[in-house]
Amino acid sequence: MDKDRISGAAREAAGTVEQLYGQAKDTMHEIGDAASSYAKDAVDAGTDLYRDSHRAAAAAIRHQPLGALLAAGAAGFLLALMISRQPQRRFPRRWR
């Protein structure tokens, strides 16, 4: 009689474990699907933002080509200054 009760309890425990495994597996699939959906939405939003900013920049250049040329030249000049600048020393030479 005790053997049957122990065997039944073991089968019940095994069934509970299988059920929990199935629930965990389903939950992980749902999380993966949600993450994939969020990533797709983020890519779509980034694509839309890039497209809109590209159109706005093209319109601004079309309306004020000289201003755009001057802004690009100034940005290039500042970039060249930053690249060609000597690195600052941490300590004066006399401390070495």
Task: Tell me, yes or no, whether 94 lies in a domain.
Answer: no
- Amino acid present at 20: L
| Structural domains counted in the chain | 1
Exposure string for 41-53, b = 16+ CB within 10 A, e = fewer: eeeeeeeeeeeee
In 3D space, the residue among 57, 37, 61, 39 whose CA is nearest the CA of residue 49 turns out to be 57
pLDDT in tens, 11-28: 999 999 999 999 999 999
Cα angle: 44, vertex 49, 50; to 5 degrees: 100
Q: 41 is in which domain, residue-wise?
A: 2-86
Task: Tell me, yes or no, whether 55 lies in a domain.
Answer: yes
Task: Tell me, yes or no, whether 96 lies in a domain.
Answer: no
pLDDT in tens, 37-70: 999 999 999 999 999 999 999 999 999 999 999 9
Task: Tell me, yes or no, whether 95 lies in a domain.
Answer: no
Higher pLDDT, residue 86 or 82? 82
d(CA 68, CA 70): 5
